[in-house]
A = this chain, B = another copy of it.
Amino acid sequence: MAPLICTCCRHNDAFYFRAYSGECLCKKCFAQSIEAKVRTTITRCHMLQFDDHLAVAVSGGKDSLALLYILAKLHKFRPKTTLTAVTVDEGIKGYRDEALDIAVVNCKKLGIPHHIVSFKELYGFSLDEIIEQANQRGQTKLTACAYCGVLRRRAINAGARAVKADKVATAHTLDDEAQTVLMNILRGDIARLAKEKPVSDKVHPMFVQKIKPFCEILEKESALYAYIKNIAFQDTPCPYASQALRNDVRGMLNRMEEKHTGTKFTVFRAMEKLRPAIEETIHKDAFKVCVECGEPSALNLCKACELLQQLR
């Protein structure tokens, strides 16, 4: 059989069939389509001002490095935008140290300034130490992901603030967003259903606004982009990874996408349509500052300090 021709350029051999659109794409057209899509998302969701200083949360995995490459490219179209990569070093031996090296190499290659914030420096404990401490004290109710989720979010914000960024971009993909919608429904967490959106609200001047330029990119297409562009990335999973609920939801969504192509996008769009209605009904907490660390928090003692106090 003769190789299929790219339905976009009608010249090169196709190497990827995009089920949801019916396109057969060559490597070049595929990569361009991803870059164009990210630009469209940024414009459609009003993610950036022309002169924003944008921090990019870079873990060293495929999604965050693909995002960094694309944002570096888009820079040409937005020359007044400044980029700085921010990496959180949670302190996970044999995992994060490897990812850190990869992030450093990629930032150097792209000529993008790189700022690293570590759990150890910010909180006095690395994640390894936190888990060891929790186990020793018999505090096994919380998973490593539960600690890391709270402390990482805080660390990304601290890093973005340290480099004086106006916004911080994370590489959450369409898969992440659709999973989060279903997880919040399964947990009945309506407030979070409204909160998790492509551009976060400005709730407090100490919070750097978060944007998700990959929110309309399938995870497998982000991985394919990294592969085509020969981006070196870490592909070993975190040794602590244990998000049972997310894994269940991911599996179901992947099966659904396989059977009914476009399902992830449908879920994302349904939530985009629902969100304004939900936002009107929920009570938004007024933010104060944590009595312990001075960071903005909905409670007197922020969640990060609460977790850390239990360990001390």
Q: Which residues of B contact A181 (CB under 8 A)?
A: 185
Interface-located stretch among A157-165, A211-219, A259-267: A259-267
A241, CB-defined interface residue at 8 Å = no
A208, chain B: closest CB distance, angstroms:
29
A257, chain B: closest CB distance, angstroms:
10
A138, CB-defined interface residue at 8 Å = no
Asked whether B270 lies within 8 Å of A185 as measured between CB atoms, the reply is yes
A122, CB-defined interface residue at 8 Å = no
A75, chain B: closest CB distance, angstroms:
34
Query: Which A residues between 190 and 212 are near B, CB-CB below 8 angstroms?
Result: 190, 193
A23, CB-defined interface residue at 8 Å = no
A217, chain B: closest CB distance, angstroms:
19
Report how far A75 CA is from B156 CA in the complex, Å. Answer: 61
Q: Which residue of B lies closest to A269 (CB)?
A: B188
Q: Which residues of B contact A189 (CB under 8 A)?
A: 270
A13, chain B: closest CB distance, angstroms:
33
Query: Which A residues between 246 and 300 are near B, CB-CB below 8 angstroms?
Result: 248-249, 252, 255-256, 259-260, 263, 266-267, 269-271, 273-274, 276-278, 280-281
Q: Which residues of B contact A187 (CB under 8 A)?
A: 266
**Can you name 4 extra interface pairs (CB under 8 A) apart from A182-B182, A248-B256?**
A182-B185, A249-B252, A274-B277, A277-B281
